[in-house]
Structure 1
Amino acid sequence: MRVKQAAVAISAALSLTLAVPAFAQESREFSVSTVLSDAFPWGQAATKWAELVDERSEGRIILKVYPNAQLVSGDQTREFSAMRSGLIDMAVASTINWSPQVPELNLFSLPFLMPDEAAIDAITQGSAGEKIFNAIDKKGVVPLAWGENGFRELSNSKKQVDGPEDLKGLKVRVVGSPLFLDTFNTLGANPTQMSWADAQPALTTGAIDGQENPLSVFDVARVDQVGQKYLTQWHYMADPLIFGVNKRVWKSLSAEDRELLQQAAIDAGAWEIEKSRRELSDTLAAIRERGVEVTELTPEQHQAFVDATAEVYEKWTPRIGAELVAEAKAAIEAR
């Protein structure tokens, strides 16, 4: 009897010991990198994703959002590499910031490729978007869904800009992408790559004349307070966001949790895109109310910029992939 009782006790102890790791895995926390905080639509997309995952997993999966690129010490261009290596678990990221590692993402930075929101959707929701996701996956990151940072518009402290000639000699802050340098150099401007943290004091002192960013960034960051009196809505490029996961993290999840995580990303992305687009008119009105002179290009003025940057396509199409560029253009024309 004593032997039997001892055996039962040992069996129960072993069962408890084996159950502990399984129970510990029930709740998991993952880091999510994003460049902007939830004061901006970009950060709101990450927050919404975390909320949906928390709700649908009943608190079992926790996404902890780290804004302001703090997981890469503010260097947002290192985000993809850090994520691929496993230093970051997940991200809601800019196509611009990931483009140095995934050349296909430069598609969205081709000047004046996408004239409107329907053109963005034609690419991201079609076969071109699928090919871009495949390219990201091959680099070690699993893409789950699209979000949107919006069209990047031009502002400056000097003058109204409604034609390529107005950019001659204008000192403009641009993000860390060679394609951006080529575009602004082609237009005769004097582009300078710098972080946004460095750009704001440079705009204040007049070290640079202008910058390019989505309207939401211009508005929330109060760029008008650092001398930016003129804003041109030229829609020269759009920056979709990507919800992504480190491949090793993805493989560690069950099929059910993968589905939960991806569907939450899709829903968060759709929510953020709709919200961002819906708020644009109010954002623009608020910018105008603060005394900023807003220029909206006529079709003829827009075409002048398209013509002036044609040589950028000749240089960058082979790097991006001629087939992908052609497929994106066809999708836009058929929208």
Structure 2
Amino acid sequence: MMRKYLGAAAVLAGSLLCGAVMAQTYRAEYRLSTVLNTAFTWGQAGERWAELVKEKTQGRINIKLYPGASLVGGDQTREFTAIRQGVIDLAVGSTINWSPQIKELNLFSLPFLMPDYKAIDALTQGDVGKDLFTVLEKREVVPLAWGENGFREMSNSKRPIASPADMKGLKFRVVGSPLYNETFTALGANPTQMSWADAQPALASGAVDGQENPLSVFVAAKLPTVGQKHLTLWHYVADPLIFVVNKQVWESWTPADRDAVRQAALQAGRENVEKARKGIAGKDNAILKQIEAAGVTVTEPTAAQREAFVKATRPVYDKWAKTIGADLVKKAEAAIAKR
């Protein structure tokens, strides 16, 4: 009886100790960063991840969404550094915005590397995606799943664009990455880097003529209302999203809860990709019809016309392939060729 009593007491003491540790370790709330809010599929992905985590951990982990890169004053290129520093606990982040700190993520911004959605999947769901997760793991973050913001298409307020010559002299808002500056400069345009928060007022005032973003963003941001009446479907780069957790935060959770957070990220990522492609991919062109109904002229370059864009940007591609890593780029090209 005494042995049973002591055994039960030990179990109880262990449970109390575990509870005390949990009480000290688990915060009342964790901060999740996204660049876009819940009017966009990107923000919805963050919201969905938070919902699933709460559900799968029975409320032990509560996450609050901070959209608009608000935890870094709206400067989306500082987001990854803030995750490493612990200012941000979790994020659904863009490979573009994190590429200034993680050079390998520039892979997805190589002009005209990925011709279709199968090409994106060949990278994110294959060995290349695993290699990139390994790179991130060395930077004090834990990558869990891939999402998607989509192929970035080009719009402007001046004229239809079907060739690099049509871009000459036009001012385009681009994200804060040198690769985008060089790509648009090679095409004869005048690129201007600015945050998304500053982009819409700049488009409305005419300070810039055009921009490049996925169609889901074009619609949700109501860009035709700020003069974007000409859209070119050129699929020049894509913008995968990555679900990550700060490493110290991750290690503060129990293995069971880590698995729950991972499974929540994988589910939210799958749902996000499906949403990002709805109305755009394959034979589903509902979003395109919606854009045309708003009075937008849509130009889809022929194969020959697209090749002119490819040729003009090839020197940029070759230069940045060295920066990203020749072996990684070759592996990506091979994966796409086999898709």
TM-score category, normalised to shorter length: over 0.9
User: Quick check: 1:89 aligned with 2:89?
Assistant: yes
State the 1:17 CA deviation.
8.0
Write the letter of the residue equivalent to 1:21. Answer: A
Match of 2:325 in 1: 321
User: Quick check: 1:40 aligned with 2:40?
Assistant: yes
What does the per-residue CA deviation read over 1:56-101, in whole Å, with 9 as the maximum and x for residues that have no partner?
1111111111111111010111000010011110000000110011
What does the per-residue CA deviation read over 1:260-306, in whole Å, with 9 as the maximum and x for residues that have no partner?
11111011000110122123222221111010001112111111111
SS across alignment from 2:292: helix
Please list, as runs of the form range in 1=range in 2, the aligned pairs for 1:161-310 lying within 5 A after superposition: 161-280=161-280, 281-310=285-314
State the 1:23 CA deviation.
5.9
For 1:17 and 1:256, locate their aligned partners in 2 and report how far apart those are by CA, in whole Å.
Answer: 18
**Alpha carbons of 1:297 and 1:248: their partners in 2 closer, same or farther (altered >3 Å)?**
same
Q: Is the 8 A contact 2:151 2:214 kept in 1?
A: yes
Match of 1:106 in 2: 106
Length-normalised TM-score, structure 2: 0.92
Q: Is the 8 A contact 1:34 1:92 kept in 2?
A: yes
For 2:26 and 2:203, locate their aligned partners in 1 and report how far apart those are by CA, in whole Å.
Answer: 49
Q: Greater CA deviation, 20-29 or 241-250?
A: 20-29
For 2:15 and 2:172, locate their aligned partners in 1 and report how far apart those are by CA, in whole Å.
Answer: 64
For 1:26 and 1:192, locate their aligned partners in 2 and report how far apart those are by CA, in whole Å.
Answer: 43
What does the per-residue CA deviation read over 1:94-114, in whole Å, with 9 as the maximum and x for residues that have no partner?
001100110000000000110
**Alpha carbons of 1:284 and 1:19: their partners in 2 closer, same or farther (altered >3 Å)?**
same
Q: Is the 8 A contact 2:54 2:63 kept in 1?
A: yes
Write the letter of the residue equivalent to 1:293. Answer: T
**Alpha carbons of 1:229 and 1:26: their partners in 2 closer, same or farther (altered >3 Å)?**
closer
User: Quick check: 1:21 aligned with 2:25?
Assistant: no
Write the letter of the residue equivalent to 1:275. Answer: K
Write the letter of the residue equivalent to 1:289. Answer: A
Q: Is the 8 A contact 2:173 2:208 kept in 1?
A: yes
Write the letter of the residue equivalent to 2:38. Answer: D
Look at both structures and tell me which one has the larger radius of gyration over its CA atoms. 1
**Alpha carbons of 1:193 and 1:16: their partners in 2 closer, same or farther (altered >3 Å)?**
closer
* Identical columns (%): 60
**Alpha carbons of 1:279 and 1:51: their partners in 2 closer, same or farther (altered >3 Å)?**
farther
Q: Is the 8 A contact 2:56 2:261 kept in 1?
A: no
**Alpha carbons of 1:155 and 1:15: their partners in 2 closer, same or farther (altered >3 Å)?**
closer
Match of 1:4 in 2: none
Q: Which runs of 5+ in 2 are unaligned?
A: 1-9
For 2:22 and 2:79, locate their aligned partners in 1 and report how far apart those are by CA, in whole Å.
Answer: 32
SS across alignment from 1:236: strand
Q: Is the 8 A contact 1:128 1:327 kept in 2?
A: yes
For 2:120 and 2:15, locate their aligned partners in 1 and report how far apart those are by CA, in whole Å.
Answer: 54
Match of 2:153 in 1: 153
**Alpha carbons of 1:170 and 1:134: their partners in 2 closer, same or farther (altered >3 Å)?**
same
What does the per-residue CA deviation read over 1:16-56, in whole Å, with 9 as the maximum and x for residues that have no partner?
98576246256752110001111100011111111111111
SS across alignment from 2:62: strand
Q: Greater CA deviation, 107-116 or 280-289?
A: 280-289
User: Quick check: 1:330 aligned with 2:334?
Assistant: yes
Q: Is the 8 A contact 1:27 1:59 kept in 2?
A: no
